[in-house]
Amino acid sequence: MLLNELASESFMNRLQNLLMRQFVEKDANLKLELQRFVDAKAIEKAALAAQFKAELARLEELRDEMSEEDYNAAVRGLKLKEANSMREIGLQLERAHREEENKIC
């Protein structure tokens, strides 16, 4: 009986160590994936912001050739397009992150 208890305790210890190692590996993988998506989101948003900044600068160059109303409408449209694009990129990356997270888990 004592031998069975020792064998059982040894088995449980090995199982506990195995499960702990699996948990630590999975946790590390999730953290790595999260960082990858955070970095990708920052890069995408910075590139998009730079693109819209350049478009706004081009619009500013054409300001003298446009009426004030047309210019203001173009600026509002550009800012709205930028906000929608930023939102869309964020949603796409979050969706991709959830899918990747589900594959890992």
pLDDT in tens, the chain (105 residues): 555 666 788 888 898 999 999 999 988 988 888 888 889 889 999 999 999 999 999 999 989 898 999 999 999 999 999 999 999 998 998 888 888 778 776
- Is the pTM higher than 0.85? no
Report the length, in residues, of the chain. 105
N-to-C CA span, the chain: 39
CB 86 within 8 A of CB 48: yes
CA atoms within 13 A on the CB side of 31: 6
CA-CA distances (angstroms) from residue 11 to 4, 7, 20, 104? 10, 6, 14, 27
